[in-house]
Amino acid sequence: MSENIPFPVGELPHPAREELILSQVLFALSDPARLAIVSQLVEGPLDMARCYLTDPTIAKSTKSHLMRVLREAGVIRNEPKGRGRTLSLRREDLDYRFPGLLDAILSSAPSGERLDLT
Amino acid sequence: MSENIPFPVGELPHPAREELILSQVLFALSDPARLAIVSQLVEGPLDMARCYLTDPTIAKSTKSHLMRVLREAGVIRNEPKGRGRTLSLRREDLDYRFPGLLDAILSSAPSGERLDLT
DNA sequence: GAAATTGTTCGAAAATAATCGAACAATAAC
DNA sequence: GTTATTGTTCGATTATTTTCGAACAATTTC
């Protein structure tokens, strides 16, 4: 009985580069847990299972929600990969729309939220 | 009957430069109305009465609250001046703590929220 | 000093956002 | 095919934010 097919859960919707809204990006990055996620993605794409949260007691549905906020703001990409997901930073799009913003934020981020950039 | 003297309302508390927290700043700037206020302050200090909101129907207590969020995040200064208040951007402190951040945000802000910078 | 101006604080109501567990979906492993 | 793994969605709950009007405070103007 397939009624109410909401979404095929596989490919998720991502805003186009031109649709990114500054306020939404700032809001997404204004949460320490979300910013910490972004910091982990600076080095490159990451399997979601290998993307750790500052608070390990958080429910997986909450983790999923954090990713959703980042994705809907256009900060990260979330793609199916095997039985899991690959997360990646939309650096080009962010730099194109908001030049210097990501760098400024990442270089100001608390050290606990920043990886080694040497 | 002076009980419960909460605050002399005059000088309001401002966080010190070292106390500014990135997440709080980003959150404060993630609201379009608040960002618009900040954009008006780029040109210099402004009497609060001359600081306009995008939505003119907003209550004065709400306007006051918007200013409070910006002040408590350390984005603006709010000082008594005559019977009103003078608002100013804490640019030096922000630039010191979060280099490039304010510029990146302001130059990416929607045109309706940005003044002429020529 | 009385009235007008400007803006803060307080308390309550409304709107948003965060969080969780349970149910579901998709792939992988067996 | 069955089970395990990984992560999304849904619905409910809680927490945080926003908004407002009323009351109050400080200053200016009269």
Tell me what pLDDT residue A114 has: 53
Tell me what pLDDT residue B10 has: 86
Instruction: Give residue B99's pLDDT band: very low, low, confident or very high (50, 70, 90).
Output: very high
What number is the average pLDDT over the span A19-33? Answer: 98
Domain residue ranges of chain A, discontinuous segments joined by + = 20-112
Tell me what pLDDT residue A110 has: 82
Answer yes or no: is B64 CB < 7 A from strand C.
yes
What is the share, in percent, of chain B residues with pLDDT greater than 70? 86
| A22–B110 CB contact, under 8 Å | yes
For the domain A20-112, what is the CATH code?
Answer: 1.10.10.10
- Is residue A71 within 8 A of residue A14, CB to CB? The reply is yes
Tell me what pLDDT residue B74 has: 98
- Residue-wise pLDDT tens digits, B40-90: 999 999 999 999 998 999 999 999 999 999 999 999 999 999 999 999 999
- Residue-wise pLDDT tens digits, A48-70: 999 999 999 999 999 999 999 99
As ranges, strand C nucleotides with an atom below 7 A of a protein CB are 4-11, 17-23, 25-28
Tell me what pLDDT residue A9 has: 75
Instruction: Give residue A3's pLDDT band: very low, low, confident or very high (50, 70, 90).
Output: very low
Alpha-carbon span B104 to B35, nearest angstrom: 13
- Please name the residues in contact with B116: beta carbons below 8 A apart, sequence gap of 6 or more: none
What is the share, in percent, of chain B residues with pLDDT greater than 90? 81
CATH architecture of B20-110: Orthogonal Bundle (1.10)
Long-range contacts for B46-52 (Cβ within 8 Å, ≥24 apart)? B46/B86, B46/B87, B46/B88, B47/B81, B47/B84, B47/B85, B47/B86, B47/B87, B48/B78, B48/B84, B48/B85, B48/B86, B48/B87, B49/B84, B51/B87
CA of B80 to C1' of D29 (A): 18
Answer yes or no: is A14 CB < 7 A from strand D.
no
Among the partner residues B100, B109, B110, nearest to A104 by beta-carbon distance:
B100
B81 bridge partner residues: B84
Which of chain A's residues have a Cβ under 8 Å away from the Cβ of B95?
none
CA of B70 to C1' of D29 (A): 32
The residue count of chain A comes to: 118
